A and B are shown apart, each in its own frame.
Chain A
């Protein structure tokens, strides 16, 4: 079953378009939404949350239609974003007093436990919290109303390595309940290397692929070799290729096809998620 179903989502801005995106996010797994900055990841997430109205297409979350059943959806989801939009002049305790009554399944004990675990003082004002502390607070809120789906927009950007690791452990802990789902948008791919089950790659407003992470990493490969191996037809086989005076390095989508094409004349390496973003974003030929 899918936790999120996006169908033919289109949003046209004067200088940017999210074009006909259809995406399924599997229930019970962590899906990483990756792509360079400004390609539409946050717009997609905003459309999921009903913050941006799509020009066409539909959004279904946990079986409910957005925006028709938005209240049912928001009872069941938690949102953690790198931008904290809480009221700056109120304390953590008062912010909790604002938020808690909206949720049917608010768990006060759980919330207090998370505050203790994250070393957040209830008396501290939101405006005095650092970015990392605000994310901790957002996470405490999201986890305290028994959210089945956690939607995270760049949650690790601006966090120190210690809390980033702690956050990933916490997410892994949450995933012990098979009903829970996480969608995690980021451009810090090392976080996803650790925890993601599925990867959805967005580039220039379009979905490039959405597949299990292991399949993606097996399918893509980095090919290195002498420039003499390249001609115009072969260059087209690469998602992106970087050429230097000494040779080339490129990303291919089909490792087996590339192995057959180059045989022993080239070296094949496992591509990382960062390689996949880099070469796809650059496209064509890159001169170093």
Chain B
């Protein structure tokens, strides 16, 4: 498993550099917006996941991976683990940068951040990844880039309405049991998605 994670970091150096660039650009342009912290975290996390997965299909690299002494189950599990790592790092980075700016430039960011502001973006990307990864592993090399484009378009269309909904909900007072319940359900969905993807990828002919 560790070797597969290492593989992703070595093979996707360029993609990871691109994620840092996306993070920086979105921070610069959206920092003043109320939902900037959530939006930057979510978009950076999801774009990193999609570029990491796309990296495995660019040159039919799954054909290479399955020749290594590792099972298909481990290949899929490693992708879920690295997705989870990317989600947490991206959301935390967004939280840290926004908090630092709030401290450094008083009045520039008016929103007060709490634990919920970290958990909600994590939950949103976990749901997206839970849908995206099984589709990615069951589609052919030609289908995967199309899937990425569809998800990116959906993401851009849905980002603002979702952000507004979160904002309105937080104005009406946060229902903590509901938030924690939703987060637990999301984690269960993520684990179930991993199980389904292992099943689909194990049966797939390459």
**A residues less than 8 Å from B66 (CB atoms):** 49-51
**B residues less than 8 Å from A94 (CB atoms):** 10-11
The number of chain A residues touching the other chain, given as a range, is 20 to 34
Q: A209 contacts the other chain (Cβ, under 8 Å)?
A: no
Assess whether A83 is in contact with B70, with CB atoms less than 8 Å apart.
no
In the complex the two chains form, what is the Cα distance from A102 to B64 in whole Å? 13
In the complex the two chains form, what is the Cα distance from A204 to B13 in whole Å? 45
Assess whether A98 is in contact with B63, with CB atoms less than 8 Å apart.
no
Where chain B touches its partner, the secondary structure class is helix
Q: Which one of A67-75, A228-236, A269-277 is at the interface?
A: A67-75
The number of chain B residues touching the other chain, given as a range, is 20 to 34
**A residues less than 8 Å from B3 (CB atoms):** 101-102
Q: B110 contacts the other chain (Cβ, under 8 Å)?
A: no
Chain A 78-103, CB-CB to B under 8 Å as 1, else 0, gives 01000101111110001001110111
CB-CB contacts below 8 Å: A94-114 with B: 94, 97-99, 101-103
Which of B10, B14, B71 makes the CB contact (< 8 A) with A70?
Answer: B71
**B residues less than 8 Å from A46 (CB atoms):** 205-206
**A residues less than 8 Å from B24 (CB atoms):** none
- With A51-B205, A98-B7 known to touch, is A86 a contact of B64 (CB < 8 Å)? yes
**B residues less than 8 Å from A83 (CB atoms):** 60, 63
Q: A131 contacts the other chain (Cβ, under 8 Å)?
A: no
In chain B, what residue has the closest Cβ to A90?
A: B11
In chain A, what residue has the closest Cβ to B8?
A: A98
Chain B 1-23, CB-CB to A under 8 Å as 1, else 0, gives 00100110011011000000000
Known contacts A51-B66, A53-B205, A94-B10, then 6 further A-B pairs from the complex at CB < 8 Å, ordered by chain A residue = A49-B67, A85-B59, A90-B10, A99-B68, A101-B6, A102-B70
Interface residues of B (CB under 8 A from A): 3, 6-7, 10-11, 13-14, 55, 58-64, 66-71, 203, 205-206
